[in-house]
Amino acid sequence: MEFLDRYQQIVAEAITKYTFKDKPAELYDPMNYIISHGGKRLRPIMVLMACDLFGGDLKQAIKPALAIEFFHNFTLIHDDIMDEAPLRRNKPTIHTLHGINVGILSGDGLMLKAYKFFEDLEPEIFKACIRIFTHTGLLLCEGQQYDINFETQENVTYDDYIRMITYKTGVLSASSFEIGALIARANFKDAKAIFNFGKHIGIAFQIMDDYLDVFGDQAQFGKKHAGDIYENKKTILYLLAREHATEEERKELDHWYGKKTDNIDKVYGVEKIFRRTKVDEKALRLIQKHNEIGQSYLEKINIPEDKKKPFAELANYLLRRES
């Protein structure tokens, strides 16, 4: 995965270059804090990879790539506030350290800074990228609202869930690839193909996220174990469990998901049903299904196979996270 190291280095150097030095420090220091704990910075890397794939100038893509990273971290700050999450990437969340008000403001600041990072693009490309970026942001908000609705909504279907994770996770990966392609002036057909590749890889990634929440190694995952169960999240594990549970087990699931509590018995009870219904195996099969759909879109792009190889490698890498 040497290509990933190269892109990560480019993104890391750009983040260092554009570290916020503005005042007041109480606003900008938390913004620097979450950016500095940036994990693998996959979404800005996706911008750079797509730009490279279609023969674009990486220098033109670096600031838009940072825009994606800033926007992504804005969503994480607000997501952590909504979920009352104490940890992000094994570090205390911003609202835990500085309070909810600072969390909201620093998240808003990151979003607005993200928009400024498109300003150097030529007018036609700027307009196209901003249209995609704004639409992506709106879809992400819709996905987040669906996710919140599901906590109290009795009947959540598989299609409801796929729409929610597509909006909440899939489209940001998809748009990252598409923006990189547009900066490289790829044609419409190829830009949409790389968008759909990213969408299905993003869906698979989110299903893996749901899987690791319960079946992953907490130290590797960097989040509270079974946080989705505590929060009554109607994840793919829950939906598969309900589909394959006995009537008695469905009643037990309804009981636990009818209340939001930190009772450890809730986690034990729900996990027991998850394991009996083998939702771990079923979720892993769905991950592979969406990976294969994504790869089929990659194959449609009329570019030499050796240039597409890193994309397939990236997808497989994302879906082999520690469990």
110-149 as b/e: b if 16+ CB within 10 A: bbebbeebbeebeeebeebbbebbeebbebbeebbebbee
Q: What is the pLDDT of residues 287-323, one digit of tens each?
A: 999 999 999 999 999 999 999 999 999 998 888 754 4
Determine the residue type at 154: E
- pLDDT bin (cut points 50, 70, 90) of residue 221 is low
- pLDDT bin (cut points 50, 70, 90) of residue 170 is very high
3-class SS of residue 91? strand
Q: What is the pLDDT of residues 36-51, one digit of tens each?
A: 986 789 999 999 999 9
Q: What is the pLDDT of residue 222?
A: 58
Distance CA 55, CA 40 (A): 24
Q: What share of the chain is helix, strand, coil (3-state, %, to 5)?
A: 75, 0, 20
What is the rounded average pLDDT of the residues 162-188? 97
84: enclosing H helix or E strand: none
Give the orientation angle of helix 158-165 with respect to helix 123-152, to 10 degrees.
Answer: 140
- pLDDT bin (cut points 50, 70, 90) of residue 56 is very high
Q: What is the pLDDT of residue 152?
A: 87
Residue at token pair 């979450």: 34
Q: What is the pLDDT of residue 323?
A: 40
In terms of Cα–Cα distance, which of 180, 185, 182 is closest to 314?
180
Q: Is the dihedral of CA 252, 258, 264, 268 positive or negative?
A: positive
Q: Does residue 215 register a pLDDT over 60?
A: yes
